[in-house]
């Protein structure tokens, strides 16, 4: 019998990966747009946007990876994602610029790696059925 929470966890991992990719694209495009034409700098550099992004990343990673750890008992995905979230939080403490972007992109990459490891560990538990989690 399928566990509905398992497929929901996997969907949250996928959303977390997509959110991380979107964040990385935002960081790179912000630098390019701001340095080239200054377009929409107020919105793109808004600390509120970054705070909400960190809150969403923390919530999604906490639920998805937390549920994964409860199921597969591997702490590495949670540890890696936690370091990534800490880097993202640290980036909020300083002014906007290259250092903030590098911290954020590094953090986002680590959160994505945590989600990927969580998905892979869940898939490994299912043997030949791949990503379909069963009881």
| CATH number of the domain where residue 22 is located | 1.20.120
What local confidence, expressed as pLDDT, does residue 133 receive?
45
Query: In angstroms, rounded to a whole number, what is the distance separating the alpha carbons of residues 112 and 130?
Result: 20
Angle at which helices 76-91 and 47-72 pack, to 10 degrees? Answer: 170
What local confidence, expressed as pLDDT, does residue 4 receive?
57
What local confidence, expressed as pLDDT, does residue 84 receive?
95
Structural domain range at position 78: 4-126
C-alpha atoms less than 13 angstroms from C-alpha of 68 in its C-beta half-sphere:
35
What local confidence, expressed as pLDDT, does residue 40 receive?
57
Total tally of structural domains belonging to the chain: 1
C-alpha atoms less than 13 angstroms from C-alpha of 23 in its C-beta half-sphere:
32
User: 47 near 92, Cβ under 8 Å?
Assistant: yes
* 29 found inside a domain: yes
What local confidence, expressed as pLDDT, does residue 53 receive?
85
* 110 found inside a domain: yes
Tens place of pLDDT per residue across the chain (135 aa): 455 555 777 788 888 888 888 877 877 776 666 656 655 556 666 777 788 889 989 999 999 899 889 888 889 999 999 999 999 999 989 887 788 888 988 998 999 999 999 988 877 776 555 544 444
């Amino acid at each position: 019998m399928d566990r509905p929470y398992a497929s929901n966890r996997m969907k949250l991992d996928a959303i977390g990966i997509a959110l991380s990719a979107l964040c990385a694209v935002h960081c790179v495009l912000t630098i390019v747009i701001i340095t080239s034409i200054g377009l929409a700098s107020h919105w793109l550099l808004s600390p509120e946007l970054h705070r909400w992004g960190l809150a969403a990343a923390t919530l999604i990673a906490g639920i998805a990876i937390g549920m994964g750890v409860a199921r597969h008992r591997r702490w590495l995905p949670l540890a890696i994602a936690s370091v990534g979230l800490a880097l993202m939080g640290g980036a909020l403490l300083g002014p906007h610029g290259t250092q903030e972007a590098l911290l954020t992109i590094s953090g986002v990459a680590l959160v994505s790696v945590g989600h990927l490891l969580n998905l892979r560990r869940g898939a490994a538990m299912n043997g030949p059925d791949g990503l379909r989690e069963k009881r």
